[in-house]
Amino acid sequence: MIKRFKNKLENLKLRWARTSPKRYLSFLRKKGVVIGDNIWMTPDVKTVSIDITRPSLIEIGSNVRLNKNLTILT
């Protein structure tokens, strides 16, 4: 039951993070994704999908644009 609660909580955190680009980038950084400075992300964050099962494998450099329908898999 505790595991189920934790999964629900993580799902809510992800859904909240995807309400704005700034929140989503902060969420990804907290999960361990290396993200540089001056990142522009589409305002339609819900179309961006980044796999965070292994966040240490993802590194997004500085001065990068993340556009609609982007998918990054690990």
Task: Output the DSSP codes for the chain.
Answer: -HHHHHHHHHHHHHHHHTTSHHHHHHHHHHHT-EE-SS-EE-S-GGG-EE--SSGGG-EE-SS-EE-TT-EE--
Specify the pLDDT at position 2. Answer: 86
Residues 43-64: what's their mean pLDDT?
94
User: How high does pLDDT run on average in the chain?
Assistant: 94
pTM of the model: 0.87
Specify the pLDDT at position 1. Answer: 80
pLDDT tens per residue across span 29-52: 999 999 999 999 999 999 999 999
